[in-house]
Amino acid sequence: MILKSISGVALLALILNASWTYSDEPATYVGWKQCAACHSPIDTTWQKTRHANAIDSLKKTSQQNLPECVKCHVTGYEKDGGFIDYELTPEMAGVQCEVCHGPGGKHVENPVESHLIKESGEDLCRQCHTKGQDPGFNYQEKVKQAHGPQK
């Protein structure tokens, strides 16, 4: 009887203090096809943007193997679920939704409770669109084109 009480108390303590089993891991990258399942109008126009095919500009200049260049032309570079290389993760090439809106793994699992970044802001864009790399970059104009032409 005492053993049952102790095990019942222990079980109750585990249930009440289950936070040790909860994982507060950051969301992982899932790729644009996961986003397209619910956001197809934006996906359709985004596919026509330079961001969608950003990796092609590196291939044209033979820079596709330079990590300092690749990181700005792919999604989730060196992050969980993100771009590793062209052989293992070709689906993560290009500047996809998650570059601006954050990793979407948790949002895909629970879109109602897990929200993404609505607008990432100029500071995020300037990580790649530096004054040296893109001296004519105008955030106010470019942000309007990020999803492609809208109807």
Q: pLDDT at position 24, please?
A: 64
Q: pLDDT at position 49, please?
A: 94
Q: How far apart are CA 106 and CA 33, in angstroms?
A: 15
Question: Which residues have a Cβ under 8 Å from the Cβ of 91 and sit 6 or more positions away?
Answer: 31, 33
Q: What amino acid is encoded at 126 in this protein?
A: R
Q: pLDDT at position 3, please?
A: 47
Q: pLDDT at position 151, please?
A: 61
Kindly report the CA angle at 51 between 47 and 36, in degrees rounded to 5?
Answer: 40
Indicate the pTM of the whole model: 0.79
Domains and CATH numbers, the chain: 27-118 (1.10.1130.10)
Q: How far apart are CA 128 and CA 43, in angstroms?
A: 22
Q: pLDDT at position 96, please?
A: 97
Count H helices and E strands in the chain, helices first.
Answer: 9, 0
Positions of the chain with pLDDT under 50:
1-6, 9-23
